[in-house]
């Protein structure tokens, strides 16, 4: 991953980690400067932020008490760092992190602990309220259970070799990742997934790609990218 792209992702990650006040969009009039609610403390430093500000000013997002800047940044960081596209990029020598590989390694090490007790998770939970050591062991069993769930979800969303995700301008890994992340964020902020002809969503998608990776030399087919992203989300377990 290019140094500039990594820096942008780190800045977005910092934004995700900040404690945000409840968003007042939809509950209070926009301040004169616009682009955010009166409680917003996020500086609009990226092209992506300007696109979000325009959507805020046009009332595209519902007043659900969630900051659109924070929601969009969180979805982008999660997908770009842990999404299956990152795993595919790793196989091509473009990435250093494979979420499924790391989780499998963690499960292997945790399994060495849980198997040594010869007890079930239920047995340990029943004892854990009597001793701090057993409480710690119960936490290990819970972590194992949660990691197994996470691994199953990652596997379900990993594209197969014969899958529909392509490597051309429409199906480039980074375009796929950004489109899926933004489609998920769009659903949170508007209550529905974007349509393939949604120009507002396309403008947001272009701004996100330009912010993180730079302006594409040739503009991708945003309609196809949106359609692929929505299909990917609908095919995921429970639409997650």
- Which tens digits make up the pLDDT trace of 65-114? 888 999 999 999 988 887 766 555 444 444 455 677 778 888 888 888 88
Q: Furthest-apart CA pair in the chain: how many Å?
A: 65
Residue 234 within a domain: yes
The pLDDT > 70 percentage for the chain reads: 80
User: What is the CA 87 to chain-centroid distance, rounded?
Assistant: 14
- Decide if 70 is inside a domain: yes
DSSP codes, 45-97: -SHHHHHHHHHHHTT-S--SS--HHHHHHHHHHHHHHHSHHHHHHHHTTS-S-
Per-residue confidence (pLDDT) for residue 32, from 0 to 100: 63
Per-residue pLDDT, averaged over 20-49, amounts to 76
- Domain identity same for 178 and 129: no
pLDDT at 206 over 50: yes
CB 37 within 8 A of CB 30: yes
Q: Are residues 105 and 51 in the same domain?
A: no
**What pLDDT does residue 103 have?**
84
Q: Mark whether 153 and 133 lie in a shared domain.
A: yes
The whole-chain average pLDDT of the chain stands at 80
Number of domains in the chain: 2
| Whether 74 contacts 20, CB under 8 Å | no
- What does the pLDDT average to over 200-227? 93
**Would the pLDDT of 2 be above 80?**
no
Q: Cα–Cα distance between 89 and 97 in angstroms, integer?
A: 9
Of 140, 157, 174, the one marking the end of a domain is 157
Residue 5 has pLDDT above 50, yes or no: yes
Residues 176 and 78 in one domain: yes
Residues 120 and 187 in one domain: no
For residue 140, the model assigns a pLDDT of: 87
In a domain, residue 7? The reply is yes
Residue reference for tokens 């949170």: 188
Q: Are residues 73 and 111 in the same domain?
A: no
Q: Determine what percent of the chain is predicted with pLDDT higher than 90.
A: 27
One domain for residues 169 and 145? no
Phi first, then psi: give them for residue 133, nearest 5 degrees.
-65, -40
Amino acid 155: pLDDT: 75
Q: Residue 58 is encoded by which pair of tokens?
A: 């046009």
25: helix, coil or strand? strand
**Domain that residue 55 falls in:** 3-82+163-239
Q: Which of 83, 75, 240, 229 is nearest to 165 (CA)?
A: 229
Name the nearest CA neighbour of 52 among 194, 7, 43, 24. 43
Say if residue 19 is in the same domain as residue 48: yes
Joined together, the tokens standing for residue 70 give: 């924070």
| 144 and 169 housed in the same domain | no
Q: The pTM is what?
A: 0.66
Query: What are the pLDDT digits (tens) for 132-186?
Result: 877 888 888 888 888 888 888 777 766 544 344 333 443 478 899 999 999 999 9
């Amino acid at each position: 991953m290019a140094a500039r792209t990594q820096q942008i992702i780190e800045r977005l990650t910092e934004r995700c980690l900040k404690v945000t006040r409840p968003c007042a969009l939809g509950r209070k009039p926009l301040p004169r400067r616009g682009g955010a609610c009166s409680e917003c403390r996020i500086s609009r430093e990226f092209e992506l932020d300007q696109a979000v500000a325009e959507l805020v000013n046009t009332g595209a997002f519902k007043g659900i008490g969630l900051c659109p800047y924070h929601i969009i940044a969180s979805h982008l960081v999660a997908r770009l760092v842990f999404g299956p596209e990152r795993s595919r990029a790793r196989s091509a020598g473009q990435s250093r992190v494979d979420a499924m590989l790391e989780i499998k390694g963690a499960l292997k090490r945790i399994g060495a602990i849980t198997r040594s007790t010869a007890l079930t998770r239920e047995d340990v939970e029943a004892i854990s309220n009597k001793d701090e050591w057993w409480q710690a062991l119960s936490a290990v069993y819970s972590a194992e259970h949660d990691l197994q769930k996470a691994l199953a979800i990652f596997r379900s969303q990993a594209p197969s070799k014969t899958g529909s995700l392509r490597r051309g301008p429409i199906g480039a890994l980074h375009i796929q990742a950004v489109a899926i992340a933004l489609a998920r964020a769009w659903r949170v902020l508007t209550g529905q997934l974007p349509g393939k002809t949604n120009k507002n969503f396309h403008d947001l998608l272009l701004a996100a790609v330009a912010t993180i990776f730079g302006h594409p030399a040739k503009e991708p087919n945003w309609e196809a990218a949106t359609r692929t992203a929505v299909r990917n989300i609908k095919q995921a377990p429970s639409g997650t």
